[in-house]
Structure formats: structure tokens, C-alpha cells
Amino acid sequence: MKFIVDNWMLIVIALTSGGLLLWPMIKGSAGGGLGAAEVVTLMNREKAIVVDVCEQGEYDAGHIGAARHLPLAELEARLPEVAKNKALPLVLVCASGMRSSRAVSVARKLGYEKVFSLRGGMNAWKEANLPVSKT
């Protein structure tokens, strides 16, 4: 007990740093990010709409075959015309998963109910050896 009282600052620092190290893992699981296999299942079973939010060059270099292209900058204005049924699952994809995570909040703001990001983006898709289409 004396150790805890004497070193309370070190204990607080250790707990804080541990929490900060675990935060990305906790946030990733709660943030709705799906792995590549989960996205395939969602596409096959629930007819999920896949929207690639990459820029044109990235999209042309490789994208999921069923993905519709809609750059992040145009997402808020054009998503309702690309994905009309807001009840269907919507999977947002980019190169690494960073832009698609931001796009999830835009889609939720527009009223989409089931919105997910492909965790790891196209990099994770390619690592899972899933098919990639090129324009």
C-alpha cells in the first residue's frame, strides 16, 4: 500500500499510456470497421452497396469490382443518388481506411442506418487475396 501511495504519479502515467496504446484497437472495433471477409459476407448476404471514396487515380489503379466510385469531396452531395436505399448496408472503402472512416460520419449524418468502413482499406482487401478490378 505504501508503494502505491508513494508512487501514485507513476501509476497514473502507466495507466494513461496503456489506455492510449489500447485506444486505437477499442475505437476500431466500436467504429464499425469491418474486415475484408466480413465485407464479402455483407455483400453476398445483405446486398451491401460498396462505395470507393478514393481519388480517380487510386480507383483506376485497383478497386473492388462491385464498388461505385464517389470521391470523398463529393460524398455529401452525391451519395443519395448513388445509394438510394438507406436501409441497405453501405460499405465505404479507400486505400488505407482513413478516408473511409471519415466518410462513415458523413453517411450517418445523411441518414444511412448501416454504414461501415473497410478496415485497412484496399490494402487489406489485396492482402486477403480478394479480386481487384482495374479501370
| CA nearest to 67, candidates 80, 85, 86, 54 | 54
What contacts 10, CB < 8 A, 6 or more positions away? none
Contact between 93 and 50 under an 8 Å Cβ cutoff? The reply is yes
Q: What does the DSSP 8-state code read for residue 114?
A: S
State how far the Cα of 128 lies from the Cα of 131, in Å rounded to an integer.
Answer: 9
Q: What would the pLDDT profile of 78-120 be if each residue is shown by its tens digit?
A: 999 999 999 999 999 999 989 998 999 999 999 998 999 999 9
pTM value is 0.76
Q: Compare 29 and 85 and report the one with higher pLDDT.
A: 85
**Residue 21 corresponds to which cell in the numbers above?**
496504446
Buried/exposed 71-104: b ≥16 CB within 10 Å, e otherwise = bbeebeeebeeebeeeeebbbbbbbebebbbebb
Tens digits of residue pLDDT in 31-66: 458 999 999 999 999 999 999 999 999 999 999 999
Confidence at residue 32, expressed as pLDDT on a 0 to 100 scale: 53
CB 124 within 8 A of CB 35: yes
Per-residue confidence (pLDDT) for residue 61, from 0 to 100: 93
The CA-based dihedral angle spanning residues 92, 93, 94, 100, taken in that order and rounded to the nearest 10 degrees:
30
Q: How distant, in Å, are the alpha carbons of 10, 14, 44, 61, 98 from that of 3?
A: 10, 14, 57, 58, 43
